[in-house]
Amino acid sequence: MTTFHAPTPGRAHWVYTHPRPDSLNRHLLRAGRAALAGQYEVTVSDLYADKFSPVLGERDLGSLSETPGNLAELTGRAYARGEVEPEVRREQERLAAAELLVLQFPLWWYGPPAMLKGWLDRVLQTGFAQGEFDETTGLPRRYGDGLLLGRKALIIVTAGDDQRTLGPRGVSGDLESLLFPLTHGALWYVGIEALDLHVVYDADGVDSAGRQQQAERLGKRIIGLSGERGRPYRRLLDGDYGRQSRALREDIHPGRTDLSIHYAD
């Protein structure tokens, strides 16, 4: 039986993903953590330094590793049995306690590094983050109604491209759309509300003065987080999507297929 995880007020968990100790990202982590510590008790997972394994594999199935079947279902059964790898259990405990999740990473090949993708694969496990059904509607508790309700997420991303290149008409694609699989497909799926992205553009050209400027900018953003609202994505249970097709109803933004149709009006 799956259960909802109520966050602990005043707790935050920062997941940091960059391999270099002298990077701009490391500088932002230090400044951001210091600013956040004024409001929250902060835990930090430095995935590279911790040597976190991003590979979802047989060990994540526990004693069911030789059992045939659906991988998501098997990991859920392993979670119910308490057969969770220690490094995954640690991350789940930290995330379950936090009311704010911070994900920090460089944009590599127009998405998060494989290390962070693997963190999502292993930590947002069936039974822990999702897998429950609403008894009234019979619909799965997904997209705004997952097991990690009551949390917000700040995504901090550094990008080598400039703002126009990653804008709505930029050749590299709109950053909001590029990260939709993270903000909507992963976080909103399990009930976590993503705040507006915090982006450092032209990151490869940031000098020492620029690092300080970006650190101060991030600190100011963090100080004001309590007044920010999450993205108004539509919830699966609100009736905007078909019960069988799970597609947006034809009478809502007819003819449109852009990702912004998934924002509530």
Please write the tens of the pLDDT for every residue from 185-203. 999 999 999 999 999 999 9
Query: Is 20 exposed, middle or buried, given 0-12, 13-18 or 19+ CB atoms closer than 10 A?
Result: exposed
* Contact indicator for 44, 33 with CB cutoff of 8 Å: yes
Instruction: Give backbone dihedrals phi and psi of 59, rounded to 5 degrees, phi first.
Output: -65, -25
- Residue 51 scores a pLDDT above 60: yes
pLDDT for 80-93, tens place per residue? Answer: 999 999 999 999 99
Helix 86-97 and helix 114-123: axis angle, to 10°?
80
Give me the pLDDT at residue 248, please. Answer: 94
What the chain holds in terms of domains, given with CATH numbers, is 11-235 (3.40.50.360)
Residue 2's pLDDT band, with cuts at 50, 70 and 90, is low
Helix, strand or coil for residue 148? coil
| Bridge-based pairing state of the strands 100-106 and 198-200 | unpaired
Task: Give the Cα separation of 4 and 144 in Å (integer).
Answer: 13
- Residue 179 scores a pLDDT above 80: yes
Residue 132's pLDDT band, with cuts at 50, 70 and 90, is confident
* Contact indicator for 42, 131 with CB cutoff of 8 Å: no
Kindly state the tokens that stand for 139. 């619909």
Helix, strand or coil for residue 114? helix
Helix, strand or coil for residue 193? strand
pLDDT for 14-44, tens place per residue? Answer: 999 999 998 999 999 999 999 999 999 999 9
> Cα–Cα distances in Å, from 10 out to 42, 75, 99, 228?
9, 30, 7, 16
Helix, strand or coil for residue 8? coil
Task: Give the Cα separation of 7 and 4 in Å (integer).
Answer: 10
- Residue 3 scores a pLDDT above 80: no
Task: Give the Cα separation of 203 and 12 in Å (integer).
Answer: 26
